[in-house]
Structure 1
């Protein structure tokens, strides 16, 4: 199979998984009976095909297979989706020297089985892992040396092993079903047979209860630990094998259904079912840079008793036990936030771990966080999830700069309930247009042209809108752009390297060009920005 044939196979897998989604969902009782295995397999395969379609220059088998594997890792959904990604990775690694043949298919299945077993913290027999290993064994035992014969041997071996899963796993036997993830694997292998042989194997429709008579029903023993409430998934970059190993061990301590896999090029995906989603995210923060975090809550039916009927205790009168944590760069800016009643995190550069530690050191039950642009949104989400627990509520506010943070802090009122306070502060931050003045350190292409070292750069938000050979000229043009949209108050937060007299020149420029606009100047002391500008 060359690259074109692999593309055809991937689309056929997508079509077949779509047709079998309801059947596979109905079989889903392990590890959690949430009826989404078919949906997760379909979503993962859809992400793989989308990635292959985007890689239009990929024509060889290895290129197409690599694109499929990358897409599956990036878009993996659920336990089954992550395992599917490793099947595609096995194919990608086996085809690095040429097309998919009888020999490389044997190698692909064997490699995929090894990757899956290695990725699972607690391998369970009677699942997709068992069926994948059986498919690999049957492919290896096939005496024929054509791709079609080996594919048929693998698919038939997987189908036979699928029928035996109820005898290997009690929860399947009690429900009278085969393993849902393994059923999805048989769909993929049958699609492979259809491509290379032109005929799709005939399989029975695996209905719930069909296997109940195969053995005596038995009582499923629940774990003594706290039941998993959440499914947590995220992707990791900037990590290494040692930290991945520690992450897998830590997630195994927190919950079950732990799978941590990579695509072979430094990108990793992690999955766990656990009761403490925050701790699972925190474990990921310690292992690398997180993104694409997904947390889903399982449906839980709690027993009804007096504790569930009694109303919550009335809210005490008076100021809430609430504190504000603000990220600030520069001694002057830090002093401003502290004077307004905030606790300041002044570490530079700010990391997710440092922000999480600072939140946990706050003695308050409610913590409002002003990140002030120190971290990207996906890292802030991860920190927020990890910081919340039964004893602390944490709200991260959308302040993209220190001038927005100061505007938010000006309306902070502990007399309001937390959500109202956070809303008012967020509204104040959003109502503050912000920009910054910088000096270019190197030649670069921007949205308004190419800058040279030493040029003055005027930014609105994160976008360069002004380039001027003179820093002062860039600052005045930037103010004209920002105040041209209106404004009553301008806040200038001057940086440590701002030219002498710049604050006075800008104040005078505003007074001449925009009479009636109030100007407030503070020494910020921040590095990088010669000035931060807020317009309210």
Structure 2
């Protein structure tokens, strides 16, 4: 077991925490009944912890204190929901306690949990027993009372006390008892504490959560009732001069007020209210608000009617119909018009899903999807498909009954295992890896690189056969072809005849794709 945490151990803990939250996200969402039963606590915690981990990955921290500071900054900047803001303060408490420390011992963990408890409680305008704050306080108390200074003992004591405190939450908060559930935010915190104890004990991931209480579904199906206010308002605030005044004015506007800072001048503000303009105006009068996000509770039920959906960005109407038939919601790419962030946000809303898995099917759409994900109020995961043939392969293994993280990994692996080829007609003279091409030549590409040129007037069928042969030289059993707008009518038949002679072991599946300015898109698995 570890005697102290260093920067690498902090990174392992953050990654393990993301995995644990990802595994339990849907279950935590289902038991989310307080302060508003909007079914998103697990999603918000996961998004916040991912933001923290992303900040750490981008930071060259070589000491435990610096690593946790990066986590805290990322969590405050990316905090989502009441639970996410509170989590950001837990990380900030660790960062403040470990500032300048290269390694962290059991004694330092004890001090840090108490500071995390203080900051998280201070961030909430009206702390309530039976919530994540109760779980955090119990963990901090147990760490202080632990008779050993060993890191493993302190971490284990905190986890044990947190688990008991979580089990006690229904006895402290009536709404939890009525629904027969524990506090959702407290469950998320327990997962993160247990992930820390797992790293300290040097157990493997599969051992994580081995002794945690199971989750149960709420007794009632009422999952989207409001606290009495119509909107959730969140924003980041720079230059805050008077925190008590901001908190007091927000409290007069609504409830669930959380004002939390990263210790370096950035604040995350959260409130449930009816007057959105007034909530934002308070921020303007106290600093510079940005990344403003407003959610109407009445819309939440419609938005999140299911756990997960797949969105595919597809060029070619016939290909789009194929993806729809396979269960994806499609954003079609029209000739001469690139999709926009607004287009993607509209499609995300159409899914009515808490998590959206995106198949971009194009190398140039990653930034667009990232921008849309930043603005949307749900968990958006991108499977890196750069061609419809890879997207179709990913969609073929999609299983909505499988755990979210496992399903995304399976889809990504299927896409990565599909080699992509494309046959197009050159529009202008150019230098390629295999020589100079002229307008009208047929260009065969594998994974984005030109590998053959068929001079004009090109025999497109012969070029397609040569390209498929080149792709199968590296092995493969299944060939998938989308015939584009420029494909000859006999392409599928001629390719099938060619493969029966040259590669009888390979099976061909052809589809009309309709992609503009394309002869064929080819995938080999």
TM-score (norm 1): 0.52
1:420-442 Cα shifts (integer Å, max 9, x gaps): xxxxxxxxxxxxxxxxxxxxxxx
- In the other structure, the counterpart of 1:192 is 196
Query: Do 1:91 and 1:109's aligned partners in 2 also have CA atoms closer than 8 Å?
Result: yes
The 1:110/1:257 distance shift into structure 2, 3 A limit, reads same
Residue 286 of structure 1: aligned partner: 285
The corresponding residue for 2:36 is 32
**Residue of 129, 138, 145 corresponding to 2:133:** 129
The alpha-carbon deviation at position 244 of structure 1 amounts to 1.4
Check the 8 A contact 1:49/1:68 in 2, yes or no.
yes
Aligned position for 1:79:
82
Specify the alignment match of 2:238 in structure 1: 237
* Preserved CA contact (<8 Å) 2:30 2:218: no
Q: Contact 2:11 / 2:67 at 8 angstroms: preserved in 1?
A: yes
Q: Which residue of structure 2 aligns with residue 88 of structure 1?
A: 91
Q: CA shift at 1:209, angstroms? A: 4.2
Aligned to 2:67: 64
Instruction: State the alpha-carbon separation in 1 of the partners of residues 6 and 138 from structure 2.
Output: 25
Q: Is the 8 A contact 2:163 2:213 kept in 1?
A: no
Residues 38 and 180 in structure 1, CA contact (< 8 A), matched pair in contact too: yes
**Alpha-carbon separation, structure 2, partners of 1:14 and 1:168:** 28
Q: Which runs of 5+ in 1 are unaligned?
A: 213-221, 303-536
The 8 Å contact of residues 240 and 265 in structure 2, kept in 1 or not, is answered as: yes
Alignment-derived partner of residue 21 in structure 2:
17
**1:229–1:300 CA contact under 8 A, matched in 2:** no
Deviation at 1:204, TM superposition (A): 2.4
Matches within 5 A, 1:301-340: none
Q: Which of 127, 151, 157 is residue 155 of structure 2 equivalent to? A: 151
1:59: Cα distance to partner?
1.1
Q: Where do 5+ consecutive residues of structure 2 fail to align?
A: 302-525
Structure 2 residue aligned with 1:247:
246
Give the match's secondary structure for 1:144: coil
**Deviation string for 1:392-440 (max 9, x for gaps)?**
xxxxxxxxxxxxxxxxxxxxxxxxxxxxxxxxxxxxxxxxxxxxxxxxx
Kept in 2, the 8 Å contact 1:27–1:207? The answer is yes
Report the 3-state secondary structure (helix = DSSP H, G, I; strand = E; otherwise coil) of the residue aligned with 1:31: coil
Q: Secondary structure at the match of 1:28?
A: coil
8 and 229 in structure 1: CA distance in 2 versus 1, 3 angstrom threshold: same
1:301 is displaced (CA, Å) by 11
Shift of 1:90: 1.1
1:228 paired to 2:229: yes
Partner residue, 1:270: 269
Contact 2:31 2:218 in 1 (8 A): no
Q: Secondary structure at the match of 2:298?
A: coil
Which string of whole-angstrom CA distances, capped at 9 and with x for unpartnered residues, describes residues 2-52 of structure 1?
001000100000011000101110110000001000000000001001001
- Deviation above 6 Å: which 4+ runs of structure 1? none
Q: Secondary structure at the match of 1:59?
A: coil
Report how far residue 198 of structure 1 moved.
2.6
How large is the Cα RMSD of the aligned pairs?
2.0
Separation in structure 2 between the aligned mates of residue 34 and residue 88 of structure 1, nearest angstrom: 25
The 2-side partners of 1:239 and 1:26 are apart by 36
Deviations 1:272-296 (A, max 9, x none): 0111111110111111011111111
Bigger relative contact order (CA 8 A; separation at least 6): 2
* Equivalent of residue 102 in structure 1, options 101, 106, 121: 106
Q: Deviations over 1:443-471 (max 9, x none)?
A: xxxxxxxxxxxxxxxxxxxxxxxxxxxxx
1:295 aligned partner = 294
CA distance in 2 between partners of 1:267 and 1:107 (Å): 24
**Map 1:310-459 → 2, pairs under 5 A:** none
Superposed CA offset, 1:41-88 (max 9, x none): 000001001001111x21111111110000000000000000100111
8 A contact 2:169–2:182 mirrored in 1: yes
Offset of residue 208 of structure 1: 2.2
**DSSP 3-state at the match of 1:293:** strand
Matching of residue 112 in structure 1 with residue 116 in structure 2: yes
Q: Distance in 2 between the 1:301 and 1:186 partners? A: 26
Q: What secondary structure is seen at the aligned counterpart in 2 of 1:299?
A: helix
